[in-house]
């Protein structure tokens, strides 16, 4: 129903990221089994799945926060290994975590530039250029149409929606190639949600940014996503394009999902050939 | 980059308010300038003791005693502040305070190593102990309270077993002793004479180091990441802050500061006492840090406040005796001050967050 808002992805859009056969366990808990995902340039991929399906673990591997037990990540045609979130950021992969990773005791502008601070040299000392960071943060938030009382206020004084906007703004500030958003709309009202979804659409269209989105609201998936990967019990149980699937079908598949085979059967039943 | 053309978001329903009432203004003042409240306390104390002692409190002679204690305590308090901001604590600082100058004096007596060289070795030992504390805490996930209590006994055991708890007389070397705190102000000294100034060197060193730490904390990436580590360690890690390293670095700074404080202390007394730093010294330093406006919860703190807090503690210790109270009475005030400061700090934060000031 909303599919008309998504312009079709160029058929020859190159693959910008490939995670292959990723497995990860935490002690006795198996979080991911042999998961492979592929992302093309300018594509918006939705990751869906129940709580504990492994979505957050997968993106934390992509962001360098966790290291996979097995499997490879290929970014821009080269195999990469992320030992820390810094490495992933250096590769142009920015992540907005579910917990937003904002520092409550620091100001909005310090949060915006945490890990990539501007400096100026005074008497041979490498000091923070607070004025520049303050101005840049203000300018940037204005450009994005995100309104907060002041970039000087500490983050713990902001509302949930404002924090979420700051986290999203921070992630797109450095013009990433790949943007990973873990439930970016969780604390947002209808208007703010639409705003962030608009941001994602613009990034995709104007800058060819590829986006991985974890969302629970299936309606929103069909508004902005090109493709859906359904994770179930640490495995990719379904990989389908939004153009070939309807919201009702997706909900039916997710509800019926008891494992790969069950999903395959269910998917084959509703629409042969999409799995 | 091209601006993204989208409609402006609505004004946030909830925001930071412009302060209206007196209470709100006071809350902002107290939370923004955490040093302010302790500075007021310090001034009140000075006035009280000055009046109570008929003007003796602010005499250069008495001040050189109070400021000597302030310097010693302030250095350790500032060191604790750096750690408390990262969410850790170091109870072994008093042992580092003892062992660093002891090694310096020992090297001087046994191998005729100049005190300046011994001092550098002593500070390096402090930094090394800090690094070990940090690594045990971070890598082996032992809470720092336990790590450093273990380190406290370990180091204290070493330092007393070297010479059967005997103090070593450190040789007087000039200009080393003058630079690091020769002696106290004598009634015959003029305030601007050489000896008049060197009587205050321990305090001047503490001020210098505290200012350097304040600069590092408030104006460098190091400080920003230190605060981030203590405020939200998972978030900081997710955004790429090397939280483990930040903690270890701050343990190292703390160890170095405590060693330096011990060396200054020895330069003053020209004697390295293996029991110079009792664990009580660390606790007093933590008290100074807390009443100076640093919370134990991590994420915020002020080293300047810690130095003022140290001045308050040193004033209480010395001033009460001066106006004729029993020496032990000062602990009653100190204890009450710690609890009052903690209540104030937590309540101010709570009210401020609730009112979104």
pLDDT digits (tens, 9 = 90+) for B139-174: 999 999 999 999 999 999 999 998 888 888 877 777
Band (pLDDT 50/70/90 cuts) for residue B94 is very high
CA distance B214 to A72: 45
User: Distance (Å, rounded) from C-alpha B164 to C-alpha B159?
Assistant: 9
Q: Is B318 a residue whose pLDDT tops 90? A: no
What local confidence, expressed as pLDDT, does residue A7 receive? 63
Per cent of chain B over pLDDT 90 is 47
Contacts of A86 in chain B (CB under 8 A): 240
Is the model's pLDDT at B287 over the cut of 60? yes
Q: What's the mean pLDDT in B108-121?
A: 91
Model pLDDT, residue A177: 92
Min Cα distance B8 → chain A (Å) is 4
pLDDT tens sequence across A106-146: 999 999 999 999 999 988 889 999 999 999 999 999 888 88
Residue B232 has pLDDT above 90, yes or no: yes
- Chain B residues close to A119, C-beta within 8 Å: 221
Average pLDDT, chain A: 84
Instruction: Reply yes or no on whether the pLDDT at A185 is more than 70.
Output: yes
Q: Which residues of B touch A114 (CB under 8 A)?
A: 224-225, 228, 236, 239, 241
Residue-range domain boundaries for chain B: 33-355
Give the C-alpha separation, A132 to A112, whole Å: 12
Alpha-carbon dihedral sign for residues B249, B252, B257, B258: positive
Instruction: Return the pLDDT at B4.
Output: 41
Q: Confidence band (pLDDT; 50, 70, 90) for A1?
A: very low
pLDDT reported for residue B131: 98
Q: Is B239's CB within 8 Å of A100's CB?
A: no
Q: Does B8 touch chain A (CB under 8 A)?
A: yes
Asked if A104 lies within 8 A of B16 by C-beta distance, the reply is no
Reported as a pLDDT band with limits 50, 70 and 90, residue B322 is: confident
Q: What is the ipTM of this complex?
A: 0.85
Mean local confidence (pLDDT), A17-41: 90
A162 contacts chain B (CB < 8 A): yes
Out of 1.10.3470, 3.40.50, 3.10.450, 2.60.200, the CATH code matching B33-355 is 1.10.3470
Question: What confidence tier does A93 reach under pLDDT thresholds 50, 70, 90?
Answer: very high
Please indicate whether residue B79 or residue A195 has the higher confidence score (pLDDT). Answer: B79
Q: Which of A115, A216, A104 is closest to A159 using CA atoms?
A: A104
Segment holding B169, helix H or strand E? strand B168-169
Q: Is B324 on the interface with A (CB under 8 A)?
A: no
Interchain contact A86–B (C-beta under 8 A): yes
A256 versus A227: the higher-pLDDT residue is A227
E-assigned strand segments in chain A: 15-26, 29-40, 44-48, 70-75, 78-80, 93-96, 119-122, 125-128, 178-182, 210-214, 227-232, 235-241
**For A55-73, what is each residue's pLDDT tens digit?**
889 999 999 999 999 999 9
Q: Is the pLDDT of residue A258 over 90?
A: no
**Cβ <8 Å between A99 and B242:** no
Question: Rounded to whole angstroms, how far apart are CA atoms A35 and A78?
Answer: 19
What local confidence, expressed as pLDDT, does residue A6 receive?
Answer: 59
The pLDDT assigned to B173 comes to 78
**Residue A67 or B38, more confident:** A67
Instruction: Using a CB–CB cutoff of 8 Å, tell me whether B86 touches chain A.
Output: no
Does the beta-carbon distance from B15 to A148 stay under 8 Å?
Answer: yes
Show the domains of chain A with their CATH numbers. Answer: 34-103+175-270 (3.40.50.300)
Q: Does the structure show a pLDDT above 90 at A236? A: no
Q: Which two tokens stand for residue B114?
A: 């100049």
Q: What pLDDT does B191 receive?
A: 66
Interface size, chain A vs chain B, as Cβ–Cβ contacts under 8 Å = 128
The closest CB to that of A202, out of B6, B231, B242, belongs to B6
Q: Look up residue A64 and give its two tokens.
A: 């360098």
User: Angle B239-A157-B352 (CA atoms, 0-180°, nearest 5)?
Assistant: 135
A31, A101, A43: which is closest to A229 by C-alpha? A43
């Amino acid at each position: 129903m909303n599919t008309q808002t998504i312009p079709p992805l160029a058929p020859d859009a190159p693959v910008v990221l490939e995670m292959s056969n990723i497995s990860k366990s935490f002690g006795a808990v198996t979080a991911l089994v042999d998961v492979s995902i592929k992302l093309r340039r300018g594509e918006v991929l939705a990751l869906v799945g129940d709580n504990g399906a492994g979505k957050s673990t997968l993106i934390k591997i992509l962001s360098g926060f966790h290291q996979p037990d097995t499997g490879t990540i290929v970014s821009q045609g080269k195999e990469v290994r992320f030992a820390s979130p810094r490495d992933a950021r250096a590769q142009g992969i920015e992540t907005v975590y579910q917990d937003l990773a904002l520092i409550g005791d620091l100001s909005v502008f310090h949060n915006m530039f945490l890990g990539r601070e501007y400096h100026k040299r005074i008497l041979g000392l490498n000091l923070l250029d607070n004025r520049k960071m303050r101005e840049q943060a203000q300018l940037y938030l204005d450009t994005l149409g995100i309104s907060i009382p002041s970039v000087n206020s500490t983050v713990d004084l902001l509302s949930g929606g404002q924090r979420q906007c700051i986290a999203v703004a921070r992630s797109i500030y450095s013009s990433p190639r790949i943007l990973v958003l873990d439930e970016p709309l969780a604390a947002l009202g209808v208007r703010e949600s639409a705003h962030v979804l608009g941001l994602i659409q613009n990034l995709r269209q104007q800058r060819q940014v590829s986006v991985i989105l974890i969302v629970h609201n299936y309606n929103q998936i069909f508004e902005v996503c090109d493709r859906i990967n359904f994770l179930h019990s640490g495995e990719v149980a379904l990989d389908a394009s939004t153009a070939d699937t309807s919201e009702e079908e997706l909900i039916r598949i997710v509800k019926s999902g008891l494992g790969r085979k069950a999903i395959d059967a269910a998917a084959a039943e509703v629409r042969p050939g999409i799995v | 980059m091209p601006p993204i053309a989208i409609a402006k978001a609505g004004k946030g329903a909830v925001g930071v308010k412009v302060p209206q009432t007196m209470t709100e203004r006071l809350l902002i003042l107290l939370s923004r300038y955490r040093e302010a409240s302790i500075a007021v306390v310090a001034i009140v104390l000075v006035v009280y003791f000055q009046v109570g002692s008929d003007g003796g409190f602010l005499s250069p002679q008495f001040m050189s005693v109070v400021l000597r204690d302030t310097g010693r305590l302030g250095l350790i308090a500032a060191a604790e502040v750096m750690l408390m901001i990262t969410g850790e604590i170091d109870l072994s600082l008093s042992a580092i305070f003892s062992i660093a100058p002891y090694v310096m004096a020992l090297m001087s007596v046994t191998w005729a190593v100049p005190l300046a060289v011994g001092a550098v070795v002593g500070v390096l030992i402090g930094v090394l102990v800090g690094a070990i504390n940090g690594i045990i805490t971070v890598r082996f996930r032992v809470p720092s309270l336990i790590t450093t209590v273990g380190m406290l006994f370990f180091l204290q055991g070493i330092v007393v077993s070297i010479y059967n708890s005997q103090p070593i007389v450190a040789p007087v070397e000039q200009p080393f002793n003058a630079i690091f705190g020769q002696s106290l102000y004598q009634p015959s000294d003029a305030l601007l004479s050489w000896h008049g100034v060197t009587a205050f060197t321990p305090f001047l060193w503490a001020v210098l180091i505290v200012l350097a730490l304040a600069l590092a904390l408030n104006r460098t990436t190091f400080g920003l990441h230190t605060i981030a580590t203590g405020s939200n360690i998972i978030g900081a890690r997710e955004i790429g802050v090397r939280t483990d390293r930040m903690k270890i670095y701050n343990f190292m700074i703390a160890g170095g500061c405590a060693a330096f404080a011990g060396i200054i202390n020895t330069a003053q007394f020209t004697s390295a006492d293996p029991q110079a730093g009792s664990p009580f010294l660390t606790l007093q330093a933590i008290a100074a840090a807390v009443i100076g406006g640093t919370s134990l919860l991590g994420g915020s703190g002020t080293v300047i406040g810690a130095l003022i807090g140290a001045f308050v503690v040193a004033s209480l210790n010395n001033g009460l005796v001066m106006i004729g109270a029993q020496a032990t009475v000062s602990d009653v005030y100190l204890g009450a001050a710690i609890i009052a400061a903690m209540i104030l700090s937590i309540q101010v934060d709570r009210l401020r967050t609730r009112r979104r000031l």
